[in-house]
Amino acid sequence: MRTYRYVVAGDLCEIHFPESDEDMAAFEAFLAQGDKFLALDTESTGLDIFSAQHQLRLVQVGNSREAWVLRWDRFKDWIRRLLGLRRNFIAHNATFDALTLDRHGAISIEELLPKIWDTKIMAHLLDPRGKMEGGIGLGLKELSAEHVDSQAPDTSNDLTKVFNGFGWTKAQGWARIPIEHMTYVLYAGLDVILCHRLHEKLLLAVQLYGDICKMEHKLQYFLALMRRRGMLLDIPYIERLTTDLHNQFVEQQDLAMDLGVESIFANEQVIAQLQAMGEKLTATTDKGALQVDRAVLLPLADVNTNWERLNVREPNPLAEAVLKGKRAKKWLEAYAMGFLEWRDTNDRIHPVINSLQARTARMSIQEPALQQLPSSDWTIRRAFIADPGFSMLAVDYKAVEMRVLAALSEDWTMRRAIADGEDLHSFTASRVFGTNFSKKQRKIAKSIGFGKVYGGGAAGVARLTGAPEDDIRIAMEAYDRTFPGIKRYSRKLIRQAQSGIMEVVTPIGRRLPLDPDRLYAATNYVVQSTARDLLAQAVIRLFEAGLGEYLLIPVHDEVVGQAPIESADEIAKEIGSVMESDFMGVRIESDPSVVGASWGAAYGAPAVLPMEVPVRKERRMKPGTWLQEALI
């Protein structure tokens, strides 16, 4: 057995790396000490848990002074027994380790994850801010430096340096580093020691936020099951889409090249050529450079946000090429190629679902970013299809943030309108513009509603809608007269923050720190966070009602799922009904819909494109693999 010593916060700690079965007697003795909690961590070949080449390399457990770094290839049985028998574990970002151990047959998520206390959840409850936002951060390194030992090593960074020494990239290093390499073993062990000590310090979070803490652990568990299930891709469709988008990009880039721009992404060149063509650019970025984003380029191309001609000027060909080329490249790289990159051997993708991410606790999805797929048309979402015999479904909340705002602000006009079943934006338009309001005016009323939720003013709403600022200002004044409670509530939050700690507290008791120079964001934080908690609690209720098996991903105010075709309608309605609730006397209503064979069908995609029939390949599911078991 090899043993390394390292001083953590003044205490001499030991990291053991057993090499034979005889060494494991000492490990059994360590377990027999009976620590209530064991910190748990894994090292694998990479973050791509679901790819064919992914391998589990090490499993580490430990307490505040001692870590055991176990090779998965040598000590499988010990590890399985340990994970199965022990009752309480601690991990940082437990989902990743639970999914890894599940994927490689060490223990199922169902058995393990409910037994893990996650230090990342606890840390988020105490301070949700990243380092850049003035908080501590949510990484093990940052939190250890703050709570355990300011000299705590950056294990991941230091290992990257070792990888670089071998001439490897970071991604290569995690797979290639010899499993007994001293730095690798030492840092693998240190992570569990740090995590165990971090847990002791963060227990305050459990005392202060017991109920929320419990809810977040439950949510994280259910989201892990959703990630393991994944979503099925239509690979032939994506391959055609990839070619198509690539051609679109090349075409637009060539056009731009003829107009003197080597790369449509080189803003300096775009600015220079636009100015040479006689265009006047005035908008500036935060850092003072001239701005050439979508909002600036669309008018130059003489189109609105829906690409309809405005016919107020001759379209600028460069503006057009930059807009179209960037869109094609974005859709190609961030979406179509991302889907292919992250798929598993069964053509499914399993995106990372961060259950507790934003300052407001909003969830996020990455690898790839499924919450940000284009909704303007069906092209990208068409890539996702239901399992054979299933239909996609989506259930969203109806104007949930507006309803939350109405409830929290106790604005009785808005509450009454909701209770009467009014369309909130139409109701607002009728109060602001009169009962004969136009479609355009309803749209402005909707934008003002969002503007209010976000804490914006007339200038911001004007910029986003394209309507004259004076008109918006007058409309916003009418809005304030119609819903006096909203403004009163916003002022109250700011006043409270100024007279106490710079934070807002949500109805469930979640504390959200405010930036002193952005106090106007307070209303948005409470509203966004509360809407998030409503969806989080709904996801928990759905799983507890046995409907979790139909869910695929959460998207802020909706869930996307799939159900057997013959019962899809009924199941969507059931999901909708479980999601609905009463929040402080305001109905939170849902809108269930059965979408069809692909997610794109919700955005107007044809059920089956005629050209696809001959090329569509049979999707064979390999029976008996853990993935399919999860689906049953």
Partner DNA sequence: ACTTTCACG
Partner DNA sequence: ACGTACGTGAAAGTG
Binders of DNA in range 447-466 (CB under 7 A): 447, 450-451, 453-461, 464
Report the distance separating Cα 270 and Cα 319, nearest Å. 8
Q: Which residue type sits at 536?
A: A
The values of phi and psi at residue 33, to 5°, are -60, -25
HSE-CB of 103 using CA atoms within 13 angstroms: 26
105-144 residues near DNA, rule: CB under 7 A? 130
Phi and psi at 499, nearest 5°, equal -90, -5
Task: Please state, in angstroms and rounded to a whole number, the distance separating the CA atoms of residues 261 and 510.
Answer: 50
Q: Which is nearer to DNA, 97 or 558 (CB)?
A: 558
Is 360 an interacting residue with respect to DNA (CB under 7 A)?
yes
Those residues with Cβ within 8 angstroms of residue 127's Cβ, 6 or more apart along the chain or in another chain = 135, 136, 513
Under rule CB under 7 A, which residues in 529-548 are in contact with DNA?
none
Q: Which is nearer to DNA, 103 or 324 (CB)?
A: 324
Q: How far is the CB of 285 from DNA (least distance, A)?
A: 4
Question: Please, where are the H alpha helices in 434-567?
Answer: 439-454, 458-465, 469-482, 484-499, 522-544
In whole angstroms, how close is the CB of 269 to DNA at the nearest point?
6
Taking the complex as a whole, the smallest distance from the CB of residue 526 to DNA amounts, in Å, to 11
Please give the Cα distance from 371 to 556 (Å, whole number). 8
Residue 362 interacts with DNA (CB under 7 A): yes or no: yes
Minimum distance from CB of 418 to DNA (Å)? 18
Q: How big is the CA angle at 490 (ends 502 and 128), to the nearest 5 degrees? A: 40
Question: In the set 6, 168, 433, 520, which binds DNA (CB under 7 A)?
Answer: 520
308 near DNA, judged by CB under 7 A: no
Tally of CB atoms within 10 A around 549: 17
Assign 3-class secondary structure to 347-400.
Answer: CEECCEEECCCCCCCCCEEECCCHHHCCCCCCCCHHHEECCCCEEEEEEEECCH
When asked if residue 561 is in the footprint of DNA (CB under 7 A), the reply is no
Bond preceding residue 368 cis, omega within 30 of 0:
yes
CA-angle at 111, arms to 108 and 114, nearest 5°: 120
At closest approach, how far in Å is the CB of 338 from DNA? 5
Nearer to DNA, 40 or 595 (CB): 595
Length of the chain: 632
Which listed range, 78-86, 111-119, 172-180, 521-529, lies at the site for DNA (CB under 7 A)? 521-529
With CB under 7 A as the contact rule, the residue among 81, 170, 294, 488 that binds DNA is 294
Distance CA 425, CA 436 (A): 14
Indicate the residue among 360 and 441 with the shorter CB distance to DNA.
Answer: 360
CA distance 365 to 230: 12
């993708």: which residue's tokens?
349
Size of the site for DNA (CB under 7 A): 71
Looking at the DSSP bridge assignments, the partners of residue 392 are 562, 596
* CB of residue 152 to DNA, shortest distance in Å: 18
Question: Which of 49, 58, 190, 519 is the binder for DNA (CB under 7 A)?
Answer: 519
Kindly state the tokens that stand for 543.
């799983």
Only segment of 15-23, 220-228, 320-328, 436-444 that touches DNA (CB under 7 A): 320-328
Judged by beta carbon, residue 209 or residue 525, the one nearer DNA is 525
Contact region with DNA (CB under 7 A), list: 18-26, 109-117, 231-239, 554-562: 554-562
* Given 189, 338, 576, 596, the residue binding DNA (CB under 7 A): 338
Q: Which residues between 250 and 279 bind DNA (CB under 7 A)?
A: 263, 265-269
> What phi, psi does 500 have (nearest 5°)?
-140, -140
369 counts as binding DNA under rule CB under 7 A: yes
Nearer residue to DNA within complex by CB, 247 or 567: 247
CB of residue 207 to DNA, shortest distance in Å: 25
Q: Would you say 64 or 447 has its CB closer to DNA?
A: 447
**Nearest alpha-carbon partner for 559 in 576, 580, 544:** 576
Stretch binding DNA (CB under 7 A), from 92-100, 118-126, 213-221, 294-302: 294-302
Binding test (CB under 7 A) with DNA, winner from 173, 368, 548, 592: 368
What are the CA-CA distances from residue 126 to residues 136, 300, 470, 536 (Å)? 10, 48, 43, 19
Residues 580-619 close enough to bind DNA by CB under 7 A: none
Would you call 194 exposed, middle or buried from its count of C-beta atoms within 10 A (0-12, 13-18, 19+)? buried
Q: Is position 555 an interface residue for DNA (rule: CB under 7 A)? A: yes
Residue 354 Cβ, how far from DNA at the closest point, in Å?
6
Binding of residue 576 to DNA (CB under 7 A): no
Among 116, 259, 297, 405, binds DNA (CB under 7 A): 297
358 binds DNA (CB under 7 A): yes
Q: State phi, psi for 295 to the nearest 5 degrees.
A: -60, -35
Q: Which stretch binds DNA (CB under 7 A): 497-505, 514-522, 579-587, 617-625?
A: 514-522
Distance CA 520, CA 271 (A): 34
Told to check if 478 binds DNA by CB under 7 A, we report: no
Residue 161 binds to DNA (criterion: CB under 7 A): no
Nearer of residues 366 and 413 to DNA, judged by Cβ:
366
Spatial separation of the C-alpha atoms in residues 235 and 385, rounded to whole Å: 10
CB 91 within 8 Å of CB 195 = yes
The interface region with DNA, picked from 52-60, 199-207, 350-358, 409-417 by CB under 7 A, is 350-358
Binding range to DNA, per CB under 7 A, among 1-9, 358-366, 480-488, 570-578 = 358-366
Q: How far is the CB of 612 from DNA (least distance, A)?
A: 23
Q: Which residue has the tokens 């850092």?
A: 287
Q: Which CB sits closer to DNA, 304 or 628?
A: 304
Q: Does residue 402 touch DNA according to CB under 7 A?
A: no
Applying CB under 7 A, which of residues 16, 104, 327, 425 lies at the interface with DNA? Answer: 327
Residue 384 Cα distances to 121, 355, 381, 392, 523, angstroms: 31, 22, 6, 9, 36
Contact pattern from residue 186 through residue 225 relative to DNA, giving x for each residue in contact according to CB under 7 A and a dash for the rest = ----------------------------------------
Task: Say whether 75 sits in a helix, a strand or coil.
Answer: coil
And the tokens for 555?
Answer: 């998207």
Q: Binding segment for DNA among 104-112, 323-331, 481-489, 569-577 (CB under 7 A)?
A: 323-331
Distance CA 512, CA 361 (A): 9
Instruction: Say how many CA atoms lie within 13 Å of 161 toward its Cβ.
Output: 7
